[in-house]
Structure 1
Amino acid sequence: MIFVTGGAGFIGSNFVLDWLAQSDEGIVNVDKLTYAGNLDNLASLRGDQRHRFVRGDICDGGALLALLEQHRPRAIVHFAAESHVDRSIHGPAEFIATNVNGTFALLEAARAYWNGLTGEEESGFRFVHISTDEVYGTLGDNDAPFTETTAYAPNSPYSASKAASDHLVRAYFHTYGLPTVTTNCSNNYGPWQFPEKLIPLVMANALAGKPLPIYGDGGQIRDWLYVSDHCAAVRRALEAGRPGQVYNVGGWNEMKNIDVVRALCDILDQVAPKAGGSYAKQITFVPDRPGHDRRYAVDASKIERELGWKPIETFETGIRKTVQWYLDHQDWVADVQSGAYLSWVEQNYANREGN
């Protein structure tokens, strides 16, 4: 079996569902179930003996090692992380605790477990660490996309904490020989994404008749990656990635945030029209957040060249699937929009007067 951290979150739950849809190999899924972790994402697996869920904290190294020794997985896939830039600005301590200290505790447990393996179990073991393109900083309009050799230049507490975790993973390979593989992905979107991120936030607000808040001029550029494509890349990295290597995972879909929002509005106008005209009338520009990176772009040619992976979905196909999923799962959206989430929205946007 394999050992997955953060498997009740957005990308992690998609990975678990995709994995078990394609394989009978079991998963031990460890998730702390913070605000963004949701077992409802995995409701279809209730009663499935291939999926063992354990509520746990990756900062608890002793508990992690006990689970590894109990279940004896052939690999660890590490998704667990605090991941929202705005939250890291308001409260960076949790990002250091989870992303840095938690990754350290997991690496220590993995090293102790791996050192007890022999033969093919030892040589075949892998530790796959899921990271972000944000560790590379920001790009100018005419700069070449990020590659695996781009110097790290994180600009937010979130990206700095992920950069630190990447460096720890690298160090454990070079110092201890732990067979690690790191993937740095671009902006994911798709089913089960918590509605603090741009696309699900816009979807929820649009349908509720609320303003669609756009930071600054909306000209920030991101590379958009449909989540199932990302999951396929992680599976390939686990299957064939070379220990010690880094693979950038991108969708080859650079778009301005404002264009993403307008595309969402256009699709909603077609599939869920409302009285009073286009959803685009709800677009509201708000003051930019501190240290907002202007552009991310990912060169994903290495993973295509070495592992044969490339995305299947274009932005046009992926965003239509995403819109339809949220329209079909309004109960899920309502359930996750708890009092704690609404308090967060108020904290983040209360002092940003729209225009």
Structure 2
Amino acid sequence: MAPKKPTKVLEDILENLSERNFKKFCSGLVGRDKRVKKNQVENKDFLEVAEVMIEKYADEALKVAEELLRDIDCQQAANDLEMTVKDFWMSKKDDPEVYCVTEDNYRNRVALLITNIKFSDEKLDRHGAEKDEENMEKLLQSLGYEVVKWQNLTGKGIDDAFKGFAKHPKLKQTDSVFVVIMSHGKLGKIFGADWREDNPDEFAVDKIYRCLNSNGCQALINKPKVVILQACRGVRSGATTWVHDGESTGRPAPPPEDHVPELDKSAHVEKDFIALLASTPDNKAYRETQNGSILIQNIVKVFTPESYQKHIIDLFTKVQDLVSKCGDDQQKQMPAIDRMTLNKKFYLYPGLLDSSH
């Protein structure tokens, strides 16, 4: 049997409320966050109120209704409304505005995780990065991804890891990939484990896109490719009580050279990417020696099993908000969403294959 559409689910729940509880529900809706005006629900029937909620809250409408029902002590109605991950997936699987995820795709998810912790120059060792690696590996696994993990790679080693990943046999079956690199860096570059001022052992960030784009990896055409980079992009100062993932000395790096890729005839050469970078251009990214980087800590906070009704842009935007509130008024870190070429919504459906969901 086909799953009910969100509007129909809401209509059924609201129709079964008593007149008194329906009025309380509408009152709570108006007072919630100013999206819904009083004249949009006053003296309206359950059909009209359901339509207003879908219009104003879109994918969040059912979650908002559940919260309002609990607020007015309609617990059974709230329980009936609560969607499981699988319910939500079923409601989206045929939506042309959502990237397709099948159960077989989900079983074949794969991610690349590269963490540089130890450097030839011991002054550059990234204390606390072990926590980042542990947290990211657990998070990716909870999202259904097999994690291909590397540690302490040179610039050439990072390049080789990407070339190998682009040939991974699961890429033909997966619905998406994550690639995560955590190291020191500067604008457009990630530092390899042998980096020194007299030996700029570096990996160009642009190579990620060349390796995984439509020309470099045809198995990933039309599939979301999520990039997370925890590294400085410059030397502008941030909070002085944290350590940063950039150069210890030296002048700021120039911007990377422009690169004009050859276009592919069947698909745009750089399509279906989204990247979250730890900071804005020319600025530092910060790491606590006990808890790991500020970016990764907040990614873990946001990407929870309860977030399954949020698509990747909403999740990244929430991470940006949390990170921007760290530090003090003078020195801040602001992650940047970069090279965003997704043309549909990408939901992660954490726990989709877990029978308890």
TM-score (norm 1): 0.37
Considering fraction of residues, name the structure with more helix.
Answer: 1
In terms of Rg, which structure is larger?
Answer: 2
TM-score (norm 2): 0.37
